Amino acid sequence: MPMREAFPSLDEAPDCPAPQPYPLGPTRYAVPPGAVDTHAHVIGIPPEFPFVRPRSYTPPPATAEDYLAMLDATGMTYGVLVQVSVHGTDNRLLLAALRAHRQRLRGIAVIPLGLPDADLAALQEAGVVGLRLNVLYGGGVGLQEVEAYGALAREMGWHLQFLLDARDLPPVATRLARLPVPVVVDHMGHFPTSAGLDDPGFRTLVSLVRDGAWVKLQGAFRNSTAGPPYADTIPFARALNDAAPDRCLWGSDWPHVATWGPMPAIGDLLDLMADWVPDPARRRKLFVENAHSLYGFPARI
């Protein structure tokens, strides 16, 4: 499977901007109690937390405290931290954030195969509930050994999360569908809307979701080719939600790394959900019931 990168891998990768300050919640509906942001990152400062080389971007720091402040400001109850690509398989910062906020955060790690049982147990104890395989940016783990990762995830009671371009799905979809654990696809397949609803990759993604995979309805600012307010993403999100309303999730993608156009506002991304998932009952499923089922959050904090 060819690797698609959003930007060239450079030893000295370009700096990307910080997220918008002073986040706000949506104006078109109320975020339901217990809502989960299923996709965000914490980012450390080298040399304590080195960045991988090569990589495709250089992000500013993003602390767990800043992330929790964003959750509070936007009405979200829980969050899921995903190991950021620039830290590779060094999950130390992710685990520190999880341990400091056990009741409120869960984590998705990036690890090599062959870790000692004690290291795997430490990940689980900290609140890791899944592994990410990333084929788009430097520092990730690709699909070469996806079956071995599936076996490990099954043993640990975890799921597998994939950052890939849906246009690359057709030749690997059968392998993903056969994995013995839940499969989660980031960013609606990180798929440019200009390719169209009938693109074979997007149709494969819809079929994969209909047949059992999970999908994160997120990343409008990455997938849109029209730009804000990202209206061109609406039919894609609706197609995925119609395919499996019980397996759709929402993520902020804070702090929006590798974003070179207009920096999105969290409130605008949340407001877009009123168009992506117009039915309030389905929207509550996406924010609360679906996410609680996959990530194991308690009913209340």
For the chain, the three-class secondary structure string (H helix, E strand, C coil) is: CCCCCCCCCECCCCECCCCCCCCCCCCCCCCCCCCEEEEECCECCCCCCCCCCCECCECCCECHHHHHHHHHHHCCCEEEEECCHHHCCCCHHHHHHHHHCCCCEEEEECCCCCCCHHHHHHHHHHCEEEEEEECCCCCCCCCCCHHHHHHHHHHHCCEEEEECCHHHCCCCHHHHHCCCCCEEEHHHHCCCHHHCCCCHHHHHHHHHHHCCCEEEECCHHHHCCCCCCCHHHHHHHHHHHHHCHHHEEECCCECCCCCCCCCCCHHHHHHHHHHHCCCHHHHHHHHHHHHHHHHCCCCCC
Q: Active-site residue numbers? A: 253
Beta-carbon count within 10 A of 271 CB? 17
Task: Answer positive or negative: Cα dihedral of 269, 271, 272, 274.
Answer: positive
Write the Ramachandran bin of 140: left for phi over 0, alpha for psi from -120 to 50, otherwise beta.
Answer: beta
Write the Ramachandran bin of 82: left for phi over 0, alpha for psi from -120 to 50, otherwise beta.
Answer: beta
